[in-house]
Amino acid sequence: MKYAVHYNGDSRDLCVTHFNENNGIPAFIREAHNRAECLFYNEIPEEIILPWISVYEIDFNKPAITTNHKRLIRRMLRELRVRRNQALTTLDAEQMKCSGDEPTLERIYDVKQRLRDLPESINPDVIRTVDDAMLVNPPLLTTYMYEI
């Protein structure tokens, strides 16, 4: 069994495809290799975290798989916003329950604003790897219910 790390046609999305060498190299991998857009491995490279494959690219000068920092930050912020939006939805429901309780409503408004500001509070310069991005977990995302 071999693994090919290659670009998927015109989309420029990176893919990992496994194939059995005894059956020959699949045509689309051979085409990627002919375009110099493919690297072969005996196992999936350790540096690739498959759910985050969209942040990687092939540096053919080395040749090696590298992380595209802009894609990494974009993906990390997208993940953060999903979690933030889930918290905002939960707080919307709490807000409906607290109708008339002004002190609680004010705390909810405050927490919701802090949640909205979360993406801008992340310093992208300290995030260099997928592991760094996966560790981004602002405490507010887990403590927001205790703050209302």
For the stretch 10-67, pLDDT in tens is 777 889 999 998 898 999 899 888 888 899 999 998 889 989 999 999 888 888 899 9
What confidence score (pLDDT) does residue 107 get?
Answer: 96
pLDDT at 5: 93
Neighbouring C-beta atoms of residue 88, cutoff 10 Å: 16
For residue 39, what is the DSSP state? E
Q: In percent, how much of the chain has pLDDT > 90?
A: 74
Q: Which two tokens stand for residue 29?
A: 């991998």
pLDDT computed for residue 125 by the predictor: 94
d(CA 48, CA 41): 12
Q: What is the mean pLDDT of residues 70-82?
A: 96
Please say whether the beta carbons of 14 and 26 come within 8 A.
Answer: no
Cα separations (Å) of 145 from 12, 15, 91, 148?
41, 40, 8, 6
Is the pLDDT reported for residue 94 higher than 80?
Answer: yes
Task: Please tell me the predicted confidence (pLDDT) of residue 66.
Answer: 92
Backbone angles phi, psi at 136, to 5 degrees: -65, 115
What is the per-residue pLDDT for 45?
87
Q: Provide the mean pLDDT of the chain.
A: 92
- Provide the pLDDT confidence category of residue 84 given band limits of 50, 70 and 90: very high
Question: In whole angstroms, what is the distance from residue 66 CA to residue 60 CA?
Answer: 10
- pLDDT at residue 97 tops 90: yes
Distance CA 136, CA 108 (A): 23
User: Which residue is it, tokens 């939805």?
Assistant: 89
**Six token digits for residue 95:** 């807000």
Tokens (6 digits) for 79: 């993940």
